Amino acid sequence: MGNYSEAHICQCLSRLATARRNSPVTITGNRLKTGEQFVDGVLGLARGLIELGLQPGDIVAISAFNSDLYLEWLLAVAFVGGIAAPLNYRWSFEEARLAMEVVRPILLVNDVSYTSWHSKFRADSVPSMRWHVYMNSPIAYSTIGNELTTEMLKKPARRSPPFNYSWAPDGATIICFTSGTTGRPKGVALSHSALIVQSLAKVAVVGYSEDDIYLHTAPLCHIGGLSSAITMLMVGGCHVLTPKFEAKSTLEAIEEHHVTSLITVPAMMADIISLIRTKEAWEGFATVKKILNGGGSLSLELLKGATKIFPKAKILSAYGMTETCSSLTFMILYDPMSETADQPFQATGYTKTALAHKLAGVCVGKPAPHVEIRVSVEDSSPAGPILTRGPHIMLRYWGQTPREASCPGDESWLETGDIGQIDDCGNVWLIGRTKGRIKSGGENVYPEEVETVLAEHPGVAGSAVVGVPDSRLTEIVVACIQVKGNWKWANYTSDHSIKGDKLCLSSEVLHHFCKEKNLSGFKIPKAFIRWQKSFPLTTTGKLRREQVKREVMSHMQLLPSCL
């Protein structure tokens, strides 16, 4: 079951119980817990789980908003050798049911503030489930049979280290689900070692420390929020937890608690900037010193807005995936301490070395410590599938046999599913996804590369590029365009009167723009379609490209007018 020289995420408890004994460790609403109180909560819950009969390797599914109790549950389950399986509270019942079938938990934990599908899970629908626990309900909460509350489970526990924690088989501690774009959710089994190596990478690159007051903006069911939480527990910082991200509550929490660090995705930053713009007067949030952005690159517009709102913050971007326990690479986008802070947005990778030269695609910086990355190059092409290996890689997809070799002849490398290249300074450049690749006239086209070019046009609010079957070229490239509010769209067959308008978009305009940006001819979309609604996204904000493709194909009769 492991020994004490091995990695275990509960090794953070000793530090919290001593160095942070009387200092705030978690703040949830009006509830503040010191290191001593937080550790007592974890140990008391762990003892209750042991008395309940939880065994090493047993799985506990958790679905709840962010809170101090969520953190306690994650550590308590790990303490007794169990495996926590965070479920996304935004899922539909069917998605949750499929995930429950994958992990087969013996216990489901959820908060009482969100019960859209929790009550539907009973022993008859999930045969493995023996108990149902309400996370944040009072001890007097009405329960029947196998229903319990966190307060009912907690027992008095010895708080002084050393702590006698246990390990699950293979060192697994978390099953984190990938959002996926189609099909059954995949549960990624992650080890204690992976989470700790990822934490050390964030400490080394981002600079998290015990002086940080960290605001949880990402849900704890996602790898970004989860890995950052473990990092902050490890360094002994203070956690500020709000139920879920809202721009207004985020800014209020930053101001009230003097938050120093947080993570974002582009949509979050856009919401924050949008809210600030509606205020008649505001001051920059100078307490914030570190912002880590994931889930896609920040546009130049968003980056400029972020530096105005958070003038003292070092802003970094990270590229990674659930299967690699979060971040593979990091890059500094803006550093107020840099000599060139008055000329920001010249991203250079977190080691601050100059880019050798601009390659195709999007630069995502250099690999984190202990992360190996290589590109599997075929023939004379400089680009190819991106592979990685190291202690950060998942154990396997839960319910499947151990991970098969992703790279023939070398089972230690994992294919990320991305296509890219590495420049002379070691920076990784992303070109696109393997699965989204379009084959047109014998050439490979990566939608993300085309979308990056289109995003540079001032009239384009968003785009989604897909490949549509074609008898001659195999596939043709089609771009769905969202138009910015003050711009107009002109079709080929109508609206001739507005084509002279400077704030007008059309297929002709965008085709010419792509040529000006030196996009290869075979990559330039053969058709541009105005998209007048939101693009379909997964719960983690990823584009459901196949759904867009299906909608485009179902309206193929619209395409000839756009060619």
What are the tokens at 402? 């151990």
Compute CA distances 466 → 128, 203, 545, whole Å. Answer: 42, 38, 7
Q: What is the mean pLDDT of the chain?
A: 86
Last residue of a domain, one of 198, 221, 246: 198
Task: Give the domain CATH number at 538.
Answer: 3.30.300.30
Three-state SS at 463: strand
In a domain, 422, yes or no: no
Q: Could you give the number of structural domains in the chain?
A: 2
Question: Rounded distance, CA 104 to CA 148, Å?
Answer: 19
Last residue of a domain, one of 198, 232, 267: 198
HEC string of 2-68 equals CCCCCCCHHHHHHHHHHCCCCCEEEEECCEEEEHHHHHHHHHHHHHHHHHHCCCCCCEEEEECCCCH
Q: What is the chain's Cα-based Rg?
A: 25
pLDDT tens digit string along 403-453? 543 444 456 899 999 989 999 999 999 888 888 889 888 787 889 889 989
Last residue of a domain, one of 179, 198, 217: 198
Question: Rounded distance, CA 346 to CA 334, Å?
Answer: 8
Task: Give the domain CATH number at 29.
Answer: 3.40.50.12780
What are the tokens at 17? 């119980």
pLDDT tens digit string along 253-265? 999 999 999 999 8
| pLDDT band (50, 70, 90) for residue 340 | low
Q: What pLDDT is recorded for position 416?
A: 93
pLDDT above 60 (res 57):
yes
Question: Rounded distance, CA 34 to CA 24, Å?
Answer: 4
In a domain, 249, yes or no: no
H helical segments located in 457-506: none
User: Which is it for strands 238-241 and 147-149: parallel, antiparallel or unpaired?
Assistant: unpaired
Q: What pLDDT is recorded for position 28?
A: 97
Higher-scoring residue by pLDDT: 555, 349: 555
Q: Which residue from 422, 432, 430 is spatially nearest to 372, judged by alpha carbons?
A: 422
Percentage with pLDDT > 90 across the chain: 61
| pLDDT band (50, 70, 90) for residue 500 | low
In a domain, 363, yes or no: no
In a domain, 456, yes or no: yes
Residue in the block written with tokens 């084959």: 439
Domain of 38, in residue numbers = 9-198
Three-state SS at 284: coil
Q: Which residue from 236, 167, 173, 227 is spatially nearest to 201, judged by alpha carbons?
A: 227
Q: Are residues 489 and 460 in contact, defined by beta-carbon separation less than 8 angstroms?
A: no
Q: What pLDDT is recorded for position 560?
A: 47
pTM, rounded to two decimals: 0.83
pLDDT tens digit string along 269-303? 989 999 998 776 667 799 999 999 997 778 888 99
In a domain, 258, yes or no: no
Residue in the block written with tokens 């903006």: 217
Q: Are residues 402 and 410 in contact, defined by beta-carbon separation less than 8 angstroms?
A: no
Query: What average pLDDT score do residues 477-497 get?
Result: 79
pLDDT above 90 (res 358):
no
pLDDT tens digit string along 83-136? 999 998 888 788 888 899 999 999 999 987 665 676 677 655 688 999 999 998
In a domain, 460, yes or no: yes
In a domain, 86, yes or no: yes
